Amino acid sequence: MSRILNFGSLNVDYVYHVDHFVAPGETIASTARDVNCGGKGLNQSIALAASGATVMHAGMIGSDGKMLTDLLSSAGVSTALVDISDGPSGHAIIQVDKNGQNSIILFPGANHEITPEMITCVFSHLEEGDTVVLQNEISRIPEIMTFAKTSGIRIVFNPSPVTPELFDYPLELVSLFVLNEIEAAALSGTDDFAQMPDALRERFPDADFLLTFGTHGAVFITNDTVIKYGIHKAPVVDTTAAGDTILGFFTGLTAEGMEPEKALRLATKAASVTVSRKGAAPSIPTLDEAEACDFPYVPFDLF
């Protein structure tokens, strides 16, 4: 089985629980504040490890980021390729409203201090046929993609957040895109969910796609296959790491040889457990917990 490297972001999350998201000019009080380990990269590495995959994480933290590598290590993720910057770690300010929805402000910090030398060093630890997972929260994504492709390494890309620079990346090199509805609309050029699969396949004919549609479920798309799966309806506490959980479980399970249909079912069940818990990384379940999930199933209903 291929090894998985997550070249990804590492953030300290400051989570404020509020009645509603703050509006322009408004000052509101939060009912609680939590400080958690986060970043899409960290969340996805923990989900990958929870699925049973062998995972290495590469990235940058500041001197204030030891809690991040400690958590990764405790989850079974190798942190030997995480470097330390002279500046601060990345961090996020997250509002979570009474319905469990979230609104996030990111400060990239050390995540944007990736160097060419670091990229060369990281890829010296991989071999042809391995997998690299990327998000759009670190610097030098185009160089990483190019290095991976020329080394025969499969690229899984979650283009979050969507930025203007994203469309200048060598996206034709990506093997698997993992997209929520906003990211899928941006890359497909359509807001019509039913048209997204064909639009994405036309634009990126060499890639597969895992599309997540929140409370509707998820879809896995190849050139000749469309696999749909709904959700297991859970009481929603916090949706922060739901998409990261699906990416990690699906990528990890398929890398271990599981059929995509079964992997999608387990990834979606894992995400249902995630949204029923507080926090980002702390809410990600184990594979056993995902398999035992008994929230009622609601079929996919978009198209």
- 15-31 pLDDT, tens per residue? 899 999 999 999 999 99
Split into its structural domains, the chain has a count of 1
Q: Determine, yes or no, domain membership for 153.
A: yes
Share of the chain above pLDDT 90, in %: 89
Helix/strand/coil (H/E/C) assignment for every residue in 113-160? CCCHHHHHHHHCCCCCCCEEEEECCCCCHHHHHHHHHHCCCEEEEECC
Query: 161 to each of 83, 174, 212, how far by Cα in Å?
Result: 23, 17, 15
Q: Give me the domain span that covers residue 76.
A: 4-11+38-89+109-298
- Band (2; pLDDT cuts 50, 70, 90): confident
**27 exposure class (CB count in 10 Å sphere: 0-12, 13-18, 19+):** exposed
Look at residue 104 and tell me whether its pLDDT is greater than 90.
no
Look at residue 276 and tell me whether its pLDDT is greater than 70.
yes
pLDDT of amino acid 175 = 98
pLDDT of amino acid 281 = 85
Q: Determine, yes or no, domain membership for 23.
A: no
Q: Determine, yes or no, domain membership for 18.
A: no
Q: Are 86 and 31 in contact (CB under 8 A)?
A: no
Q: Determine, yes or no, domain membership for 200.
A: yes
Q: Determine, yes or no, domain membership for 97.
A: no
Query: 287 to each of 52, 174, 271, 273, how far by Cα in Å?
Result: 7, 27, 11, 11
pLDDT of amino acid 279 = 77
* Average pLDDT value over all residues in the chain: 95
Q: Determine, yes or no, domain membership for 273.
A: yes
Query: 155 to each of 28, 163, 236, 273, how far by Cα in Å?
Result: 42, 19, 32, 27
- Band (1; pLDDT cuts 50, 70, 90): low
Tens digit of each residue's pLDDT (9 = 90 or more) over 232-273:
999 999 888 999 999 999 999 999 999 999 999 999 999 999
Tens digit of each residue's pLDDT (9 = 90 or more) over 69-92:
999 999 999 999 999 999 999 998
Q: Determine, yes or no, domain membership for 170.
A: yes
CA distance 213 to 239: 13
Q: Determine, yes or no, domain membership for 131.
A: yes
pLDDT of amino acid 282 = 86
Domain CATH code at residue 277: 3.40.1190.20
